[in-house]
Structure 1
Amino acid sequence: MTVDHTIRYRYRDMDGDELAVRRSIEGESMVYLAASDGGVVLPPEELPKLVASLYRATGQEPPIILPRPGAAQIRSILSPPDGDEIRVTAWVEGSMVVLASTPGGRVHPHGARLRAAAIVAAADLAENAPGPEQVAAMAKVIDDITERRPPMRDSLAAYCPMGCGRTLFVADGGFITCSYVHCPRPTAVADLLEDRETEHIVRFGLETFTVRHPLRERLDESLMDCALHDHVKGLAGPPIRPGQYRARARTDGQGWTWEPLPDPQHIEGVATDE
Protein backbone atom coordinates (compact mmCIF):
# COMPACT_ATOMS: atom_id res chain seq x y z
CA MET A 1 0.00 0.00 0.00
CA THR A 2 1.29 3.42 -0.92
CA VAL A 3 1.46 5.86 2.00
CA ASP A 4 0.36 9.40 1.26
CA HIS A 5 3.31 11.63 2.24
CA THR A 6 1.45 14.85 1.51
CA ILE A 7 2.33 17.59 4.00
CA ARG A 8 -0.81 18.14 6.09
CA TYR A 9 0.51 21.17 7.90
CA ARG A 10 3.45 23.51 7.53
CA TYR A 11 4.43 26.55 9.59
CA ARG A 12 7.54 28.71 9.40
CA ASP A 13 8.34 31.13 12.22
CA MET A 14 10.10 34.51 12.05
CA ASP A 15 13.52 32.85 12.39
CA GLY A 16 12.87 30.64 9.38
CA ASP A 17 12.47 27.45 11.44
CA GLU A 18 9.80 25.17 10.04
CA LEU A 19 7.37 22.62 11.43
CA ALA A 20 5.73 20.09 9.11
CA VAL A 21 3.17 17.31 9.72
CA ARG A 22 2.58 14.33 7.45
CA ARG A 23 1.65 10.66 7.65
CA SER A 24 4.42 8.37 8.87
CA ILE A 25 5.91 5.59 6.74
CA GLU A 26 5.58 3.39 9.85
CA GLY A 27 1.85 3.05 9.25
CA GLU A 28 -1.26 4.91 8.26
CA SER A 29 -2.25 5.49 11.88
CA MET A 30 1.10 7.09 12.71
CA VAL A 31 2.07 10.78 12.40
CA TYR A 32 5.46 12.15 11.44
CA LEU A 33 6.47 15.62 12.71
CA ALA A 34 9.49 17.33 11.20
CA ALA A 35 10.93 20.40 12.94
CA SER A 36 14.00 22.53 12.33
CA ASP A 37 16.94 22.25 14.71
CA GLY A 38 16.27 24.26 17.83
CA GLY A 39 12.48 24.04 17.55
CA VAL A 40 9.78 26.24 16.10
CA VAL A 41 7.97 29.12 17.79
CA LEU A 42 4.25 28.48 17.29
CA PRO A 43 1.70 31.21 18.07
CA PRO A 44 -1.57 30.26 19.82
CA GLU A 45 -3.71 30.86 16.74
CA GLU A 46 -1.86 28.05 14.95
CA LEU A 47 -2.64 25.42 17.57
CA PRO A 48 -6.10 24.45 16.21
CA LYS A 49 -4.61 23.99 12.73
CA LEU A 50 -1.78 21.89 14.13
CA VAL A 51 -4.13 19.64 16.11
CA ALA A 52 -6.42 19.22 13.11
CA SER A 53 -3.48 18.32 10.87
CA LEU A 54 -2.33 15.63 13.32
CA TYR A 55 -5.69 13.90 13.08
CA ARG A 56 -5.88 14.24 9.30
CA ALA A 57 -2.39 12.77 8.94
CA THR A 58 -3.78 9.54 10.42
CA GLY A 59 -6.79 9.58 8.13
CA GLN A 60 -9.19 10.72 10.84
CA GLU A 61 -11.51 13.67 10.91
CA PRO A 62 -10.27 16.13 13.56
CA PRO A 63 -12.41 16.98 16.59
CA ILE A 64 -14.32 20.22 16.54
CA ILE A 65 -12.02 22.89 17.95
CA LEU A 66 -13.77 26.10 18.97
CA PRO A 67 -12.44 29.35 20.43
CA ARG A 68 -13.28 29.69 24.11
CA PRO A 69 -15.05 32.98 24.97
CA GLY A 70 -14.73 34.52 28.40
CA ALA A 71 -17.58 34.57 30.86
CA ALA A 72 -18.38 38.20 29.98
CA GLN A 73 -18.65 37.35 26.27
CA ILE A 74 -21.06 34.45 26.51
CA ARG A 75 -24.28 36.47 26.72
CA SER A 76 -23.22 38.93 23.99
CA ILE A 77 -22.35 36.08 21.59
CA LEU A 78 -25.60 34.24 22.22
CA SER A 79 -27.80 37.34 22.13
CA PRO A 80 -26.86 39.17 18.90
CA PRO A 81 -28.69 42.27 17.67
CA ASP A 82 -32.09 41.74 16.06
CA GLY A 83 -31.86 40.23 12.58
CA ASP A 84 -32.63 37.13 10.62
CA GLU A 85 -30.30 34.93 12.68
CA ILE A 86 -31.58 32.51 15.25
CA ARG A 87 -31.40 33.97 18.73
CA VAL A 88 -30.09 31.70 21.50
CA THR A 89 -29.55 32.90 25.04
CA ALA A 90 -27.64 30.99 27.71
CA TRP A 91 -26.70 31.87 31.25
CA VAL A 92 -25.45 30.04 34.31
CA GLU A 93 -27.55 29.53 37.42
CA GLY A 94 -25.56 27.66 40.02
CA SER A 95 -24.52 24.36 38.44
CA MET A 96 -26.99 24.53 35.54
CA VAL A 97 -27.01 26.21 32.11
CA VAL A 98 -30.28 27.89 31.18
CA LEU A 99 -30.98 27.97 27.42
CA ALA A 100 -33.64 29.97 25.62
CA SER A 101 -34.06 30.35 21.85
CA THR A 102 -36.49 31.75 19.31
CA PRO A 103 -37.91 29.20 16.85
CA GLY A 104 -36.67 29.13 13.29
CA GLY A 105 -34.27 31.63 11.78
CA ARG A 106 -30.91 31.33 10.08
CA VAL A 107 -27.33 31.63 11.20
CA HIS A 108 -24.08 31.87 9.26
CA PRO A 109 -21.46 29.10 9.80
CA HIS A 110 -19.12 31.41 11.71
CA GLY A 111 -21.97 32.55 13.94
CA ALA A 112 -23.01 28.95 14.55
CA ARG A 113 -19.50 28.07 15.73
CA LEU A 114 -19.40 31.08 18.03
CA ARG A 115 -22.72 30.13 19.59
CA ALA A 116 -21.67 26.53 20.06
CA ALA A 117 -18.44 27.65 21.76
CA ALA A 118 -20.36 30.02 24.02
CA ILE A 119 -22.74 27.26 25.11
CA VAL A 120 -19.81 24.93 25.85
CA ALA A 121 -18.05 27.68 27.82
CA ALA A 122 -21.23 28.28 29.81
CA ALA A 123 -21.45 24.54 30.49
CA ASP A 124 -17.87 24.55 31.84
CA LEU A 125 -18.67 27.47 34.14
CA ALA A 126 -21.77 25.71 35.42
CA GLU A 127 -19.93 22.43 35.90
CA ASN A 128 -17.26 24.15 38.00
CA ALA A 129 -19.75 26.18 40.01
CA PRO A 130 -20.61 24.87 43.49
CA GLY A 131 -24.01 23.23 43.85
CA PRO A 132 -26.62 24.29 46.43
CA GLU A 133 -25.36 21.74 48.98
CA GLN A 134 -21.75 22.95 48.57
CA VAL A 135 -22.84 26.59 48.94
CA ALA A 136 -24.73 25.74 52.13
CA ALA A 137 -21.72 23.85 53.51
CA MET A 138 -19.36 26.74 52.73
CA ALA A 139 -21.76 29.23 54.32
CA LYS A 140 -21.83 27.13 57.50
CA VAL A 141 -18.01 27.04 57.61
CA ILE A 142 -17.85 30.82 57.18
CA ASP A 143 -20.44 31.33 59.91
CA ASP A 144 -18.50 29.06 62.29
CA ILE A 145 -15.27 30.94 61.63
CA THR A 146 -17.01 34.28 62.17
CA GLU A 147 -18.43 33.12 65.49
CA ARG A 148 -15.00 31.98 66.73
CA ARG A 149 -13.11 35.06 65.52
CA PRO A 150 -12.44 37.69 68.20
CA PRO A 151 -14.60 40.72 67.48
CA MET A 152 -12.68 43.59 65.94
CA ARG A 153 -12.95 47.05 67.39
CA ASP A 154 -11.79 50.32 65.94
CA SER A 155 -8.65 50.24 63.86
CA LEU A 156 -5.69 52.20 65.19
CA ALA A 157 -3.73 55.02 63.58
CA ALA A 158 -0.52 53.06 64.08
CA TYR A 159 1.79 50.75 62.19
CA CYS A 160 2.64 47.10 62.82
CA PRO A 161 6.29 46.80 63.99
CA MET A 162 6.67 43.68 61.80
CA GLY A 163 6.40 45.80 58.65
CA CYS A 164 2.79 44.99 57.69
CA GLY A 165 1.70 48.62 57.49
CA ARG A 166 -1.26 50.36 59.10
CA THR A 167 -2.98 47.11 60.10
CA LEU A 168 -3.41 47.34 63.86
CA PHE A 169 -6.71 47.07 65.70
CA VAL A 170 -7.91 46.43 69.25
CA ALA A 171 -9.06 42.82 69.49
CA ASP A 172 -11.20 41.20 72.14
CA GLY A 173 -9.64 41.59 75.58
CA GLY A 174 -8.04 44.90 74.66
CA PHE A 175 -5.00 43.36 72.94
CA ILE A 176 -3.53 45.35 70.07
CA THR A 177 -3.27 42.96 67.13
CA CYS A 178 -2.20 43.03 63.49
CA SER A 179 -4.95 42.14 61.02
CA TYR A 180 -2.61 41.11 58.19
CA VAL A 181 -3.06 37.38 57.66
CA HIS A 182 0.63 36.81 56.86
CA CYS A 183 2.01 38.85 59.75
CA PRO A 184 4.87 36.85 61.32
CA ARG A 185 3.84 37.96 64.81
CA PRO A 186 0.37 39.56 65.02
CA THR A 187 0.66 40.09 68.80
CA ALA A 188 4.02 41.93 68.62
CA VAL A 189 2.66 45.24 69.96
CA ALA A 190 0.68 43.55 72.72
CA ASP A 191 3.74 41.52 73.71
CA LEU A 192 5.91 44.65 73.86
CA LEU A 193 3.41 46.55 75.96
CA GLU A 194 3.05 43.67 78.42
CA ASP A 195 6.71 44.13 79.41
CA ARG A 196 6.72 46.23 82.59
CA GLU A 197 10.46 46.96 82.44
CA THR A 198 11.21 50.68 82.19
CA GLU A 199 14.95 50.68 82.88
CA HIS A 200 18.04 49.60 80.96
CA ILE A 201 19.01 45.95 81.22
CA VAL A 202 22.74 45.35 80.79
CA ARG A 203 24.50 42.04 80.35
CA PHE A 204 28.25 42.11 81.05
CA GLY A 205 30.69 39.55 79.77
CA LEU A 206 34.36 39.37 80.57
CA GLU A 207 35.19 41.86 77.84
CA THR A 208 31.85 42.65 76.24
CA PHE A 209 28.47 44.12 77.09
CA THR A 210 24.93 44.19 75.69
CA VAL A 211 22.29 46.82 76.48
CA ARG A 212 18.52 46.40 76.17
CA HIS A 213 17.10 49.91 76.06
CA PRO A 214 13.69 50.82 77.48
CA LEU A 215 10.96 51.61 74.96
CA ARG A 216 10.83 55.24 76.02
CA GLU A 217 14.22 55.82 74.37
CA ARG A 218 12.55 55.36 70.96
CA LEU A 219 10.94 58.76 71.57
CA ASP A 220 12.68 61.83 70.19
CA GLU A 221 15.67 59.75 69.00
CA SER A 222 16.88 59.35 72.61
CA LEU A 223 18.23 55.91 71.77
CA MET A 224 20.80 57.44 69.44
CA ASP A 225 22.32 59.39 72.38
CA CYS A 226 22.01 56.85 75.19
CA ALA A 227 24.05 58.08 78.18
CA LEU A 228 24.36 54.58 79.67
CA HIS A 229 25.78 53.12 76.48
CA ASP A 230 28.32 55.93 76.20
CA HIS A 231 29.25 55.49 79.88
CA VAL A 232 29.86 51.71 79.66
CA LYS A 233 31.64 51.99 76.31
CA GLY A 234 34.09 54.48 77.83
CA LEU A 235 35.09 52.20 80.73
CA ALA A 236 38.34 50.22 80.69
CA GLY A 237 36.42 47.07 81.63
CA PRO A 238 33.20 45.83 83.24
CA PRO A 239 32.31 47.95 86.30
CA ILE A 240 30.99 44.83 88.01
CA ARG A 241 31.39 41.08 87.69
CA PRO A 242 29.83 39.37 84.60
CA GLY A 243 26.08 38.97 84.77
CA GLN A 244 22.81 40.69 84.01
CA TYR A 245 21.82 43.92 85.75
CA ARG A 246 19.14 46.58 85.86
CA ALA A 247 20.88 49.94 85.48
CA ARG A 248 19.58 53.13 87.06
CA ALA A 249 21.18 56.57 86.91
CA ARG A 250 22.29 57.79 90.33
CA THR A 251 20.30 60.71 91.69
CA ASP A 252 23.51 62.64 92.35
CA GLY A 253 24.54 62.24 88.71
CA GLN A 254 27.66 60.28 89.68
CA GLY A 255 27.32 57.17 87.52
CA TRP A 256 24.90 54.26 87.70
CA THR A 257 23.63 51.65 90.14
CA TRP A 258 23.60 47.96 89.17
CA GLU A 259 20.80 45.72 90.43
CA PRO A 260 21.58 42.03 89.83
CA LEU A 261 19.02 40.08 87.78
CA PRO A 262 18.68 36.36 87.03
CA ASP A 263 20.70 35.52 83.92
CA PRO A 264 20.00 32.00 82.61
CA GLN A 265 22.43 32.38 79.68
CA HIS A 266 26.10 31.50 79.91
CA ILE A 267 28.09 34.63 79.14
CA GLU A 268 30.73 34.06 76.48
CA GLY A 269 31.68 35.41 73.09
CA VAL A 270 31.02 38.79 71.63
CA ALA A 271 27.90 40.73 72.53
CA THR A 272 26.67 43.83 70.74
CA ASP A 273 24.57 46.79 71.71
CA GLU A 274 20.85 46.22 71.02
Structure 2
Amino acid sequence: MSEINFARYRAYVDARVEANNAMIALLAGSRLAAHNLQLHNGSPHQLPGLFPAVKDIDRFNLLPDRASQLLLDADAHLAAVAIPYALAVYEAFVKDAITMLEDAGYAVSHARGALNAGRMHTTFFDAAGVAEPADVIPLFHVLRCLRNAQIHHAGQVTQEVTEALDSLTQLQRERWEQLTMLPLDSVIKDRKLHFTIGHLIAAFAVTKEAARRINEVLRQKLSRETWAKFAVADFAESAEHPRNSRQWKKGLLGFARFHYLGGLNLSSAELELAARASGFWTATSW
Protein backbone atom coordinates (compact mmCIF):
# COMPACT_ATOMS: atom_id res chain seq x y z
CA MET A 1 0.00 0.00 0.00
CA SER A 2 1.50 3.32 -1.10
CA GLU A 3 0.89 6.10 1.42
CA ILE A 4 0.42 9.82 0.97
CA ASN A 5 2.82 11.44 3.39
CA PHE A 6 0.85 14.62 3.99
CA ALA A 7 1.90 16.85 6.87
CA ARG A 8 -0.47 15.51 9.54
CA TYR A 9 0.31 11.91 8.63
CA ARG A 10 4.06 12.56 8.82
CA ALA A 11 3.55 14.11 12.25
CA TYR A 12 1.62 11.02 13.35
CA VAL A 13 4.30 8.66 12.03
CA ASP A 14 7.04 10.64 13.74
CA ALA A 15 5.16 10.62 17.04
CA ARG A 16 4.46 6.90 16.77
CA VAL A 17 8.08 6.10 15.99
CA GLU A 18 9.27 8.29 18.84
CA ALA A 19 6.89 6.62 21.28
CA ASN A 20 7.84 3.15 20.07
CA ASN A 21 11.55 3.88 20.31
CA ALA A 22 11.14 5.34 23.79
CA MET A 23 9.33 2.24 25.05
CA ILE A 24 11.83 -0.15 23.47
CA ALA A 25 14.69 1.93 24.89
CA LEU A 26 13.21 1.64 28.37
CA LEU A 27 12.73 -2.08 27.89
CA ALA A 28 16.29 -2.58 26.68
CA GLY A 29 17.58 -0.34 29.47
CA SER A 30 15.81 -2.36 32.14
CA ARG A 31 17.29 -5.58 30.82
CA LEU A 32 20.77 -4.11 30.52
CA ALA A 33 20.51 -2.83 34.08
CA ALA A 34 19.31 -6.22 35.34
CA HIS A 35 22.20 -7.90 33.54
CA ASN A 36 24.75 -5.56 35.11
CA LEU A 37 23.26 -6.02 38.56
CA GLN A 38 23.97 -9.74 38.35
CA LEU A 39 27.57 -8.83 39.08
CA HIS A 40 26.41 -7.71 42.53
CA ASN A 41 24.21 -10.67 43.43
CA GLY A 42 24.29 -11.32 47.16
CA SER A 43 25.74 -7.92 47.98
CA PRO A 44 24.55 -6.49 51.32
CA HIS A 45 24.84 -2.96 49.94
CA GLN A 46 21.89 -1.10 48.47
CA LEU A 47 22.06 0.55 45.07
CA PRO A 48 22.87 4.12 46.23
CA GLY A 49 25.97 2.77 47.95
CA LEU A 50 27.04 0.76 44.91
CA PHE A 51 26.33 3.46 42.30
CA PRO A 52 26.58 6.83 44.05
CA ALA A 53 27.31 8.67 40.77
CA VAL A 54 23.99 7.64 39.18
CA LYS A 55 21.47 10.47 39.33
CA ASP A 56 18.35 9.75 41.43
CA ILE A 57 19.61 6.27 42.35
CA ASP A 58 18.48 6.95 45.93
CA ARG A 59 14.89 6.62 44.68
CA PHE A 60 15.67 2.98 43.86
CA ASN A 61 16.98 2.19 47.32
CA LEU A 62 17.01 -1.60 47.07
CA LEU A 63 19.43 -4.49 47.31
CA PRO A 64 20.79 -5.62 43.92
CA ASP A 65 18.94 -8.96 43.95
CA ARG A 66 15.52 -7.34 44.47
CA ALA A 67 16.26 -4.51 42.01
CA SER A 68 17.34 -7.00 39.37
CA GLN A 69 14.10 -8.95 39.69
CA LEU A 70 12.01 -5.79 39.36
CA LEU A 71 13.91 -4.78 36.25
CA LEU A 72 13.43 -8.21 34.69
CA ASP A 73 9.69 -7.90 35.35
CA ALA A 74 9.49 -4.42 33.79
CA ASP A 75 7.85 -5.70 30.58
CA ALA A 76 4.37 -5.77 32.11
CA HIS A 77 4.62 -2.24 33.45
CA LEU A 78 6.06 -0.85 30.23
CA ALA A 79 3.30 -2.48 28.19
CA ALA A 80 0.69 -1.04 30.54
CA VAL A 81 2.16 2.40 29.89
CA ALA A 82 2.79 1.91 26.18
CA ILE A 83 -0.75 0.88 25.22
CA PRO A 84 -2.35 4.17 26.38
CA TYR A 85 0.60 6.04 24.87
CA ALA A 86 0.24 4.41 21.44
CA LEU A 87 -3.54 4.77 21.41
CA ALA A 88 -3.44 8.44 22.41
CA VAL A 89 -1.10 9.30 19.53
CA TYR A 90 -3.24 7.35 17.08
CA GLU A 91 -6.61 8.67 18.27
CA ALA A 92 -5.47 12.26 17.74
CA PHE A 93 -4.64 11.37 14.14
CA VAL A 94 -8.03 9.73 13.53
CA LYS A 95 -9.84 12.82 14.77
CA ASP A 96 -7.82 15.00 12.43
CA ALA A 97 -8.64 12.63 9.56
CA ILE A 98 -12.35 13.03 10.36
CA THR A 99 -11.90 16.80 10.21
CA MET A 100 -10.25 16.43 6.79
CA LEU A 101 -13.30 14.58 5.48
CA GLU A 102 -15.66 17.17 6.92
CA ASP A 103 -13.65 20.05 5.45
CA ALA A 104 -13.90 18.30 2.08
CA GLY A 105 -17.70 18.33 2.30
CA TYR A 106 -18.46 14.86 3.64
CA ALA A 107 -21.31 14.51 6.12
CA VAL A 108 -19.70 13.74 9.46
CA SER A 109 -21.76 12.71 12.46
CA HIS A 110 -21.90 15.20 15.32
CA ALA A 111 -23.79 12.87 17.61
CA ARG A 112 -22.71 12.82 21.21
CA GLY A 113 -19.60 10.70 21.54
CA ALA A 114 -19.01 10.49 17.79
CA LEU A 115 -15.35 11.34 18.30
CA ASN A 116 -14.64 9.17 21.31
CA ALA A 117 -12.32 6.20 20.90
CA GLY A 118 -15.14 3.69 20.81
CA ARG A 119 -16.99 5.38 17.93
CA MET A 120 -14.45 7.44 16.01
CA HIS A 121 -13.80 4.73 13.41
CA THR A 122 -17.51 4.37 12.72
CA THR A 123 -17.72 8.15 12.34
CA PHE A 124 -14.82 8.21 9.89
CA PHE A 125 -15.74 5.22 7.75
CA ASP A 126 -19.47 6.04 7.68
CA ALA A 127 -18.69 9.56 6.49
CA ALA A 128 -16.43 8.16 3.79
CA GLY A 129 -19.00 5.51 2.81
CA VAL A 130 -16.47 2.72 3.32
CA ALA A 131 -16.70 -0.41 5.46
CA GLU A 132 -14.45 -0.56 8.52
CA PRO A 133 -11.44 -2.86 7.97
CA ALA A 134 -12.53 -6.05 9.73
CA ASP A 135 -8.99 -7.32 10.16
CA VAL A 136 -7.65 -4.40 12.17
CA ILE A 137 -10.33 -2.22 13.81
CA PRO A 138 -11.61 -5.01 16.13
CA LEU A 139 -8.03 -5.44 17.37
CA PHE A 140 -7.91 -1.73 18.10
CA HIS A 141 -11.04 -2.13 20.20
CA VAL A 142 -9.40 -4.93 22.18
CA LEU A 143 -6.51 -2.59 22.92
CA ARG A 144 -8.92 0.22 23.77
CA CYS A 145 -10.81 -1.97 26.25
CA LEU A 146 -7.55 -3.15 27.81
CA ARG A 147 -6.45 0.47 28.12
CA ASN A 148 -9.73 1.44 29.77
CA ALA A 149 -9.53 -1.41 32.26
CA GLN A 150 -5.94 -0.58 33.11
CA ILE A 151 -6.57 3.13 33.62
CA HIS A 152 -10.08 3.20 35.07
CA HIS A 153 -10.25 -0.13 36.90
CA ALA A 154 -6.69 -0.59 38.18
CA GLY A 155 -6.05 -3.48 35.82
CA GLN A 156 -9.12 -5.49 36.82
CA VAL A 157 -10.69 -7.42 33.96
CA THR A 158 -13.97 -5.75 32.97
CA GLN A 159 -16.97 -7.02 31.06
CA GLU A 160 -15.90 -4.69 28.25
CA VAL A 161 -12.60 -6.57 27.99
CA THR A 162 -14.17 -10.03 27.96
CA GLU A 163 -16.75 -8.97 25.38
CA ALA A 164 -14.06 -7.50 23.12
CA LEU A 165 -12.01 -10.69 23.32
CA ASP A 166 -15.02 -12.96 22.81
CA SER A 167 -16.19 -11.00 19.77
CA LEU A 168 -13.04 -11.70 17.74
CA THR A 169 -13.41 -14.03 14.79
CA GLN A 170 -10.99 -16.88 14.29
CA LEU A 171 -8.94 -14.88 11.80
CA GLN A 172 -8.84 -11.84 14.08
CA ARG A 173 -7.82 -14.03 17.00
CA GLU A 174 -5.03 -15.58 14.96
CA ARG A 175 -3.76 -12.15 13.97
CA TRP A 176 -3.79 -11.00 17.61
CA GLU A 177 -1.89 -14.10 18.71
CA GLN A 178 0.59 -13.62 15.89
CA LEU A 179 1.31 -10.07 17.02
CA THR A 180 1.47 -10.79 20.75
CA MET A 181 3.17 -14.19 20.33
CA LEU A 182 0.82 -15.53 23.00
CA PRO A 183 -2.60 -17.17 23.29
CA LEU A 184 -5.49 -14.71 23.35
CA ASP A 185 -6.54 -15.51 26.92
CA SER A 186 -3.01 -15.04 28.29
CA VAL A 187 -3.75 -11.35 28.80
CA ILE A 188 -5.99 -12.38 31.73
CA LYS A 189 -4.57 -13.97 34.84
CA ASP A 190 -6.50 -14.29 38.10
CA ARG A 191 -9.05 -11.72 36.87
CA LYS A 192 -6.28 -9.19 36.38
CA LEU A 193 -4.71 -7.93 33.17
CA HIS A 194 -1.36 -9.55 32.47
CA PHE A 195 0.64 -7.55 29.94
CA THR A 196 3.81 -8.65 28.14
CA ILE A 197 6.17 -7.22 25.56
CA GLY A 198 3.90 -8.84 22.96
CA HIS A 199 1.03 -6.56 23.89
CA LEU A 200 3.32 -3.55 23.57
CA ILE A 201 4.27 -4.72 20.06
CA ALA A 202 0.61 -5.29 19.19
CA ALA A 203 -0.36 -1.77 20.29
CA PHE A 204 2.07 -0.13 17.90
CA ALA A 205 1.50 -2.62 15.06
CA VAL A 206 -2.30 -2.37 15.13
CA THR A 207 -2.39 1.42 15.27
CA LYS A 208 0.21 1.63 12.51
CA GLU A 209 -1.85 -0.54 10.20
CA ALA A 210 -5.12 1.20 11.08
CA ALA A 211 -3.55 4.59 10.28
CA ARG A 212 -2.43 3.27 6.91
CA ARG A 213 -5.97 2.17 6.12
CA ILE A 214 -7.26 5.64 7.00
CA ASN A 215 -4.57 7.16 4.80
CA GLU A 216 -5.80 5.00 1.92
CA VAL A 217 -9.42 6.08 2.42
CA LEU A 218 -8.39 9.73 2.43
CA ARG A 219 -6.45 9.14 -0.78
CA GLN A 220 -9.56 7.73 -2.42
CA LYS A 221 -12.10 10.21 -1.08
CA LEU A 222 -10.35 13.57 -1.23
CA SER A 223 -10.17 15.21 -4.64
CA ARG A 224 -6.94 15.70 -6.54
CA GLU A 225 -7.53 19.44 -6.25
CA THR A 226 -7.62 19.09 -2.47
CA TRP A 227 -4.44 17.04 -2.40
CA ALA A 228 -2.72 19.59 -4.63
CA LYS A 229 -3.71 22.37 -2.22
CA PHE A 230 -2.38 20.31 0.70
CA ALA A 231 0.91 19.72 -1.13
CA VAL A 232 1.37 23.40 -1.92
CA ALA A 233 0.58 24.59 1.60
CA ASP A 234 2.76 21.83 3.06
CA PHE A 235 5.72 22.80 0.89
CA ALA A 236 5.25 26.55 1.35
CA GLU A 237 5.47 26.20 5.11
CA SER A 238 9.14 25.26 4.97
CA ALA A 239 10.22 26.51 1.51
CA GLU A 240 13.51 28.39 1.60
CA HIS A 241 13.41 29.91 -1.88
CA PRO A 242 11.39 33.04 -2.69
CA ARG A 243 7.96 32.58 -4.17
CA ASN A 244 7.58 32.99 -7.93
CA SER A 245 11.17 31.85 -8.40
CA ARG A 246 12.31 28.96 -10.56
CA GLN A 247 13.80 27.31 -7.47
CA TRP A 248 10.49 27.51 -5.58
CA LYS A 249 8.63 25.84 -8.43
CA LYS A 250 11.28 23.15 -8.79
CA GLY A 251 11.24 22.55 -5.05
CA LEU A 252 7.44 22.19 -5.03
CA LEU A 253 7.48 19.65 -7.85
CA GLY A 254 10.13 17.57 -6.11
CA PHE A 255 8.37 17.83 -2.75
CA ALA A 256 5.08 16.63 -4.24
CA ARG A 257 6.78 13.72 -6.02
CA PHE A 258 8.46 12.63 -2.79
CA HIS A 259 5.68 13.08 -0.22
CA TYR A 260 2.41 13.01 -2.14
CA LEU A 261 2.64 9.54 -3.59
CA GLY A 262 -0.11 6.95 -3.13
CA GLY A 263 -0.84 6.83 -6.85
CA LEU A 264 -1.60 10.54 -7.03
CA ASN A 265 1.23 11.63 -9.34
CA LEU A 266 0.13 15.27 -9.12
CA SER A 267 0.97 17.07 -12.33
CA SER A 268 2.77 20.36 -12.70
CA ALA A 269 -0.45 21.91 -14.00
CA GLU A 270 -2.43 20.74 -10.97
CA LEU A 271 0.18 22.12 -8.60
CA GLU A 272 0.26 25.40 -10.49
CA LEU A 273 -3.51 25.83 -10.16
CA ALA A 274 -3.30 25.07 -6.44
CA ALA A 275 -0.39 27.45 -5.94
CA ARG A 276 -2.22 30.26 -7.73
CA ALA A 277 -5.51 29.59 -5.92
CA SER A 278 -3.70 29.66 -2.59
CA GLY A 279 -1.82 32.85 -3.44
CA PHE A 280 1.59 31.24 -3.22
CA TRP A 281 2.33 31.83 -6.92
CA THR A 282 1.44 35.16 -8.49
CA ALA A 283 3.87 35.44 -11.40
CA THR A 284 2.41 35.45 -14.91
CA SER A 285 4.48 32.54 -16.12
CA TRP A 286 4.88 29.14 -14.44
Structure exhibiting the larger radius of gyration computed from Cα positions: 1
Q: Where is the helix percentage greater, Structure 1 or Structure 2? A: 2
- TM class by shorter chain equals under 0.3
Q: TM-score, normalised by structure 2?
A: 0.17
Which gives a bigger RCO, structure 1 or 2 (Cα 8 Å, sep 6+)?
2
Q: Where is the strand percentage greater, Structure 1 or Structure 2? A: 1
